[in-house]
Amino acid sequence: MEYAGARCVFSSEWDAYAQETYAANFGERPAGDITQIPLADIPPHDFLVAGFPCQSFSICGEQKGFGDARGTLFFRIVEILENKHPRGFLLENVRNLVTHDEGRTFATILGQLRALGYHVHWTVLDGRTFGVPQKRERTVIVGFRENHPFAFPKTGFRPARSLSDILEDDRAVDPRHFLSPRMKAKLRARVGEVPAAPAIWHENKSGNVGVNPFSCALRAGASYNYLTVNGIRRLTPREMLRLQGFPDTFKIVVPDTQIRKQAGNSVVVPKMEAVAAAMIAAIQQPPLAGRPGRPRPRRETASLFQEACL
pLDDT tens-place string over residues 79-92: 999 999 999 999 99
CA 22, CA 263: separation in Å to the nearest integer?
A: 13
Give per-residue pLDDT as tens, 33-90.
999 999 999 999 999 999 987 555 544 545 454 555 445 788 899 999 999 999 999 9
Q: What are phi and psi of 89, to 5 degrees?
A: -150, 160
- pLDDT reported for residue 295: 40
The tens digit of pLDDT for each residue in 282-305 reads 999 999 976 544 444 334 445 444
The residue-averaged pLDDT of 238-259 equals 97
User: How confident is the model at residue 62, as a pLDDT?
Assistant: 54
Q: Residue 214: its pLDDT value, please? A: 96
pLDDT at site 304: 47
CA distance linking residue 44 with residue 237, whole number of Å: 36
Active site residues: 54
Is the pLDDT score of 184 beyond 50? yes
β-pairing verdict for 137-144 and 215-216: unpaired
Of the candidates 156, 133, 139, which has an alpha carbon nearest to the alpha carbon of residue 244?
Answer: 133
Angular region, 85: left φ>0, alpha ψ -120 to 50, beta rest: left
Which domains does the chain carry?
16-156+264-305 (3.40.50.150), 163-250 (no CATH)
Q: What angle do CA 128, 30, 57 make, to 5 degrees?
A: 45
Give this prediction's pTM.
0.87
Please determine, for residue 195, whether its predicted confidence score (pLDDT) is greater than 90: no
Res 181 pLDDT > 60? yes
Picking from 1, 271, 6, the residue whose alpha carbon sits closest to that of residue 140 is: 271
Q: Quote the CA–CA distance of 72 and 141 in Å, as a whole number.
A: 17
